[in-house]
């Protein structure tokens, strides 16, 4: 499974010459920045676990991203201004974000009217939303964590728990990654249906 991103950022808007992302604490060592980012974002995720926000529409992606990364990046909660590809496969073009966000809004509207007892339909629509949000890839960094939290909060609105990255189950994360990278709705649908469970 590949994991190589390419960015078109000749003006170094996001990174310094060594490729380290510009960050609020001005860390210039990539390994230290990764550790700092992981610590801060984990704390912010805990806050959303305690005080979940309501998903109104696709703009909630920006709200979540800002909340998670506000301690790390000045551009937290702002869509990327560079185009991205992974292993040669491009993500959604930033110039067309408006269209992409509107499409996700439609998916969310469809999700909102699904009966909360219909888990099969819920899982199917959540898989479709996840695939679309992943292809949109609206941020320079932090897309995976943002979209997993986005899905968790959508499931919560139906009275369901959904953890796509449990710390004690690497297999789930690997299936999630395979499904998103390959844009495989069958994998994502099966995984989400398997994981969603009623909240206590």
**Structural tokens at position 57:** 């529409």
Give whole-number Cα distances, 145 to 8, 37, 137, in Å: 22, 12, 11
CB 180 within 8 A of CB 172: no
Domain 5-198 fold is Fic-like fold (1.10.3290)
- Dihedral sign for Cα 146, 165, 176, 29, please: positive
The answer on pLDDT for 5 being more than 80 is no
Q: For 1-10, 27-36, 165-174, which range has the lowest pLDDT when averaged over its residues?
A: 1-10
The answer on pLDDT for 189 being more than 70 is yes
Give tens-digit pLDDT for 82-95.
Answer: 888 777 788 899 89
- Which pTM does this prediction carry? 0.92
Q: How far apart are CA 50 and CA 86, in angstroms?
A: 34
């Amino acid at each position: 499974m590949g994991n190589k991103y390419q960015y078109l950022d000749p003006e170094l808007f996001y990174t310094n010459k060594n490729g380290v992302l510009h960050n609020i604490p001005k860390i210039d060592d990539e390994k230290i920045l990764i550790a700092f980012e992981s610590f801060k974002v984990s704390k912010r995720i805990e806050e959303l676990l305690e005080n979940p926000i309501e998903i109104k529409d696709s703009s909630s992606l920006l709200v979540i991203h800002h909340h998670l990364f506000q301690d790390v990046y000045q551009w937290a909660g702002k869509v990327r201004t560079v185009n991205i590809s992974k292993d040669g496969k491009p993500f959604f073009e930033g110039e067309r974000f408006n269209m992409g966000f509107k499409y996700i809004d439609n998916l969310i509207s469809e999700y909102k009217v699904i009966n909360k007892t219909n888990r099969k339909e819920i899982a199917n629509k959540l898989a479709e939303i996840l695939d679309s949000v992943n292809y949109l890839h609206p941020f320079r960094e932090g897309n995976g964590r943002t979209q997993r939290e986005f899905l968790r909060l959508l499931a919560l609105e139906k009275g369901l728990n959904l953890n796509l990255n449990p710390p004690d189950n690497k297999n789930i994360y690997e299936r999630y990654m395979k499904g998103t990278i390959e844009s495989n709705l069958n994998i994502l649908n099966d995984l989400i249906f398997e994981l969603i469970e009623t909240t206590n």
